[in-house]
Amino acid sequence: MPILRDTGDADNVAGQDASAHELWPVVAAVPDPEMPPLTIADLGILRSVDEIDGRIVVTITPTYSGCPAVEYIEGLIADAVIETGVPADQVEVRRELSPAWSTDWITPQGREKLEMSGISPPRTLLDGTPVRIGLIACPQCGSTNTTEISRFGSTACKALYRCNDCAEPFDHVKEL
């Protein structure tokens, strides 16, 4: 199954039939309800849009086992597909756990959007191991002189940090 196709990149969607191909940008534009500047494609949770036996099948992967937004996102995806004229009973949203989502799947565009929204993007993992590269920079002033103030934050995927230079607190997307 194709994984992590970028929206708008014709090469990446080659091989899909026309209908699923046309729907990819529609589904990819669905916003993440907890971080609305990011789309589900930016977040890397959209795996594929396929046409299987005449039905549109969208496959996503949850960020955390207990992510409370998954069911809501599934509803948003179904609504977006139905709005293009696909009958409601021809739309299916599937959840796939494997391979497990990683913050490394957040696209460069998604990371940029996080920073612009004042959220520090996750550091890169080395082959999925919890070896983190680099420092956590303040999304306001860019200083890497930052302190973790809470390991858990406003949503399952974030921790809370403070910048020691500009004194602003900020959300950081936890490496996973």
Partner 1 sequence: MSAPSDRLLTYVLRLADDNLILGQRLGELIARMPELEEDIAVANLALDHVGQARNLYQYASELDPEGRSEDDFAMLRDEREFLNAVLVEQPNGDFAHTMVRQFLLDAYQVPLYRALSDSADDRLAAIAAKAVKEASYHRDHSSSWVITLGNGTSESHQRTQTAVDALWRFTADLFAADEVEDELVAAAVAVDPSAIRPAFDATVADVLAQANISMPADPYQRLGGRTGFHTEHLGHVLTEMQILYRSHPGVTW
Provide CB contacts within 8 A for 74, sequence distance 6+.
Answer: 60, 93, 95
Q: Which is nearer to partner 1, 26 or 160 (CB)?
A: 160
**Residue 3 C-alpha from the chain's centroid:** 13
Q: Per-residue string for binding with partner 1, 131-150, x by CB under 8 A?
A: ------------------xx
Nearest by Cα to 174 from 110, 113, 102: 102
What is the C-alpha separation between 128 and 101, in angstroms, rounded?
10
- The pair of structure tokens assigned to 123 is 């550091």
The amino acid sitting at 65 is: S
44 binds partner 1 (CB under 8 A): no
Residue with tokens 């990149």, as numbered in its chain: 9
Of 8, 15, 68, 108, the one binding partner 1 (CB under 8 A) is: 68
- Quote the DSSP letter at residue 152: S
Q: Which is nearer to partner 1, 144 or 150 (CB)?
A: 150
101 binds partner 1 (CB under 8 A): yes
Number of residues that bind partner 1 (CB under 8 A): 23
What is the C-alpha separation between 40 and 31, in angstroms, rounded?
6
Of 18, 98, 127, 133, the one binding partner 1 (CB under 8 A) is: 98
Q: For the purposes of burial, counting CB atoms within 10 Å of the CB of 133, is it exposed (0-12), middle (13-18) or buried (19 or more)?
A: exposed
Shortest reach from residue 108's CB to partner 1, in Å: 22
Q: Which is nearer to partner 1, 26 or 125 (CB)?
A: 125
47 binds partner 1 (CB under 8 A): no
The interface region with partner 1, picked from 61-69, 80-88, 111-119, 139-147 by CB under 8 A, is: 61-69
Contacts with partner 1 by CB under 8 A lie at 62, 64-68, 96-101, 130, 149-154, 156, 160, 174, 176
